[in-house]
Amino acid sequence: MESVKTTQTADLQLVGMSCVNCAAKIEKTLNAIPSVQASVNFATEKAHVEYSSAITPEDLIKAVQGVGYQAFEMNSPVDAQKYKQEAAAEYRRDLLHFIISTILTIPFLFEMGAMFAGHHELVPRWLQWALATPVQFWIGWRFYRGSYYALKSKSANMDVLVMLGTSMAYFLSAAITFLDLHHQHVYFEASTAVITLILLGKLMESRAKGKTSEAVEGLIRLQPKTAMVLKGQEWVLTSIEHILSGDTVLVKNGESIPVDGIVVEGASSIDESMLTGESLPVEKKVGDHVYAATLNQEGSLQIKATGVGNKTQLEQIIRIVTAAQGSKAPIQRLADKISGVFVPVVVLISILTFFGTWLIVGDAQAAIISAVSVLVIACPCALGLATPTAVVVGIGKATRYGILFKDAKALEQAEKITHVLLDKTGTVTEGKPVVTKVYALNGFSETEVLSITASLEHGSSHPLAKAITAYATEKGISLERVSYFKAYSGQGIEGSVKDQAYKVGKPDWLVPGEGLSEIKNLEAQGQTVIVLGSDQGVVGFIAIADQIRESSKQAIEALKELGITVMMLTGDNEGTAKEIARQAGITEFKAGVKPSDKANVVVTLKRKKAVVAMVGDGINDAPALAMADVSFSMSSGTDIAIETADVTLMNNDLMSIAHAVKLSKVTLKKIRQNLFFAFIYNTLGIPLAAFGMLNPVIAGAAMAMSSVSVVSNSLLLKRKKI
């Protein structure tokens, strides 16, 4: 029997890429392995790989090494530390090479100055050759090595362009020097200056790219390294890696909470801004949940650990943000396609430039220099960095607002939203309804109505059911055993209590005709009514109220100002829905909507070419969340809702939707600016170089600065207010 192959995932940190074509080559190499699906992000220098159990991470790393790059699996802090050490060592090597290259290139600057002043060859040619040779073949060895692996795998990258350009300038100059052709000019300054400037550009680019991932690094730094753990009768300072679920942890005033857990002793105000984006502290007491890396601002707390290590909410956020920053936005496809054919096209243009210039001008030396300028200026790095750097910064900024995008596609799509559909309970409202009054009929007492209803609702995760059972507990009413139970989707439930059959559900399911006037009055006031019925008819009903969130009205106004149509969908009755909609400032709503009907509303709007966002927090919202173009879930919602949604709102605030849309707009604006500058740079630069209007040195400087300018423009997103 053939064994079943399960799908696994790995995140590889890559070292040694010089341009977007390198990323494309690694991606192509990994995808060539059977049962492997890989996506490589040049800006974050990461590869996300899905593979079968027949493949190992070591196989993936060997494949990457086979095309000339290094890779590290990022599964633990040890892996991350190993990569950081390698990246730091590489940066130091690059810095040393740049310093040496600069020292060796400085005499050529004097030579160039002397030329402009009308003097001829201030630096002897033999000395120029001696200075240029180590720059070309030692400092520039990386370009030859990169070119070898690129051409070996039948692809081309920036290394090929730099290798061809500088080699042409160097060997032309060397030939003139050793053949003693005094009437010909040498161009050693071109080859050395281009290599030096490219190294400078890569150093600046590395520093700038490092700043794009500060959001995730900031989250990682928030978690303390040690904590006081109760061992027997003593508090022992323990490394965070050795804390177990169930341990009791002591957190003093001013300390960061090391684990997710429940307060078992003490009370305090907790700063959860890193988690929710909300600056106001949250009061915590015994029984409340607290989260790792949040800050204890008052008093001492004893916390029973429920989430430790990589099981904390902080770690989940880091994983989500890291994955989102490494994902590709649809808008990047165009840049990827162009980059894939860019280098071969540039080489062809360079060849045509050489022969064209030689034929027209009759000067082979000038033709070579023009061809070199074309090769040097045409690096596609800026094009490859345009989208991913903006995505990384945009998603990192969203995290600070308590908005977790699961991928770049959701970030891009949020800009286009035309309709936002809101679930009522737990989304527009607080989701914590409370019982306001119990009504008894037909000889039943209020205690009996509450006891029977709570017994039938016990175990349900629905907010209304929780409100009823909580109220019964508060009143000290014991629950009865339910001997039979059946649920009716979107209507209610039935069961037997003390051998008597009862139904609990919506008024229009249990109350015949026009119903009871008292129920109508309660619904008109915005209260929800749950009816208890038996074979005697209606024996009682319970009124429940749920307040709208403080920010709901403001958030809905903000969405309207963005030109977005807001609609509320609820399974509640018409009266309650109308009152909540009025309070929130919503003009369009649908009441009595079943879970499947919510998804149908999404589909209907999408058929009308609307871009639909669904916002919910419950299992009943999952179908609509899955169908929406962009789906938002409150972090207080069910796991299935959060898992289904594209975006999680950590602060449970509808204003975050408006923030998400605005952030999407400014991020996409930056991406378009970056793509425009990258396209314009190459569109203008290549013709200027081809017509001999750009010196190779100027071309090298322009190429180096183009990448830096794109990354710097993306970093401006950090200062943008939304």
Q: How many CB atoms lie within 10 A of CB 244?
A: 11
Q: Which two tokens stand for residue 459?
A: 């175990």
**DSSP character string of 365-403:** HHHHHHHHHHHHHT-THHHHHHHHHHHHHHHHHHHHTTE
Q: Which two tokens stand for residue 77?
A: 């802090």
Rounded-to-integer distance, Cα 370 and Cα 691, Å: 7
| Residues paired with residue 497 on neighbouring β-strands, in sequence order | 482, 500
With tokens 């096209």, the residue in question is: 345
Please, are residues 323 and 9 in contact by the beta-carbon 8 Å criterion? no
Q: Which two tokens stand for residue 358?
A: 């030689």
Q: Which two tokens stand for residue 579?
A: 């009152």
Please, are residues 228 and 249 in contact by the beta-carbon 8 Å criterion? yes
Please, are residues 671 and 685 in contact by the beta-carbon 8 Å criterion? no
Rounded-to-integer distance, Cα 432 and Cα 416, Å: 32
Q: Which two tokens stand for residue 166?
A: 């500088």
With tokens 């890569």, the residue in question is: 202
Residues in the chain: 722
Q: Which two tokens stand for residue 587?
A: 């003009």
Q: What are the phi and psi torsion angles at 226 (to 5°)? A: -135, 165
Q: Is 475 helix (H, G, I), strand (E, B) or coil?
A: coil
Kind plus residue range of the DSSP H or E element containing 669: helix 655-690
**Residue 423 designated active-site:** yes
What sign results for the dihedral spanned by CA atoms 89, 93, 96, 98?
A: negative
Rounded-to-integer distance, Cα 204 and Cα 292, Å: 35
Q: Measure Cα distances from 394 to 218, 401, 710 in Å.
A: 15, 11, 14
Q: Which two tokens stand for residue 135?
A: 């720059």
Amino acid occupying residue 132: A
Q: What are the phi and psi torsion angles at 74 (to 5°)? A: -105, 80
| b/e per residue 37-76 (b: at least 16 CB within 10 A) | ebbbbbbbbbbbbebeeebebeebbebbeebbbbbbbbee
The single residue of 11, 407, 423, 629 carrying the catalytic annotation is: 423
Mode of pairing for the β-strands spanning 282-284 and 46-52: unpaired
Q: How many CB atoms lie within 10 A of CB 349?
A: 19
| Residues paired with residue 482 on neighbouring β-strands, in sequence order | 497
**DSSP structural state of residue 196:** H
Q: How many CB atoms lie within 10 A of CB 463?
A: 20
What residues are labeled active site? 423
